[in-house]
Amino acid sequence: MATLFVSDLHLDPERPAITELFGRFVDEEARGADALYILGDLFEAWVGDDDPSDTGAFVAGKLRGLRDAGVPVRFLRGNRDFLLGDEYARRAGMEILPDPAVVPLYGKPVLLMHGDLLCTDDTAYQAFRAQTRDPRWQAQFLAQPLAARLAFAQQARAASRAHQSGLQAQGAMDAITDATPATVDDTFARYGLDRIIHGHTHRPKVHEERGGTRIVLGDWYEQGSVLRADRDRFELAALQAGAL
């Protein structure tokens, strides 16, 4: 058996085929796994656990079924679903991990991250991240009516697209939105580990860095992406819509 890692699914009602693909992945391959780790951005947007979306309900049901079948489901928040809370986690049978989190993997510790903390050259995003992770900001935001929160999420997505378009126009998109090499080196040194697994950048690859191995998970916008890990291998694979 293997431990499975996914990230950046960005599940959304506008892309039902990807939500269906994730559901089949959970029902089929994940049922035989040692554990499933979801490293953030499970949803395209999450404005509070009171959101009654069909997508959220579908995913909670699938993950709860997986957990009830004996497969642990562990989740850490991303930049799109940082407001996912304990209530939804209970519905889905997920354990929420801190970001970053050190976890044992077949007798050896690894560092799990969403990955946005590594992108320190994107100072505008890091300022937004610091603001929205403030507990006071979150409490004020969650106190607003659901309609207002959904409108904010739409505005935030539009602002993110505009920010990325600006970076592309400057020819700085790849450098600014990818992991900053010095920050990667500092992270390896700070935790004293030789393996990091993260998502966020949507650039799936196994990097051999000075401090160790950094495995970047892919996104699920056009197809699925999964890391299969066991005692002897780390395999990044794409999941086509008809492959499961």
Q: Which domain CATH number covers 116?
A: 3.60.21.10
129/242: higher pLDDT: 129
Report pLDDT for 155.
84
Q: Write out the residue range of the structural domain in which residue 138 sits.
A: 3-239
pLDDT for the residue numbered 3: 98
Domain membership flag for residue 152: yes
Q: Is residue 201 part of a domain?
A: yes
Read off the pLDDT of each residue in 71-79 and give the average, rounded to a whole number: 97
Regarding predicted confidence, which is higher, 232 or 99?
A: 99
Residue labelled with tokens 């499975």: 4
- Per-residue pLDDT reduced to its tens digit, 182-211: 999 999 999 999 999 999 999 999 999 999
Per the model's pLDDT, the better-predicted residue between 152 and 98 turns out to be 98
Q: Residues 69-88: what's their mean pLDDT?
A: 97
Strands (E), the chain: 3-6, 35-38, 73-76, 94-97, 101-105, 108-113, 195-198, 205-208, 213-216, 224-229, 234-239
> How many domains does the chain fold into?
1
Q: Rounded to a whole number, what is the distance in angstroms from the first to the last CA of the chain?
A: 17
**Is residue 171 domain-resident?**
yes
Residue 63 forms part of a structural domain: yes
Residue 244 is assigned to a structural domain of this protein: no
Structure confidence at residue 169 (pLDDT): 56
Residue 232 pLDDT: 87
Q: Count the neighbouring beta carbons within 10 Å of the beta carbon of residue 82.
A: 19
* Residue 53, domain member (yes or no): yes
Contact 198, 39 (CB under 8 A): yes
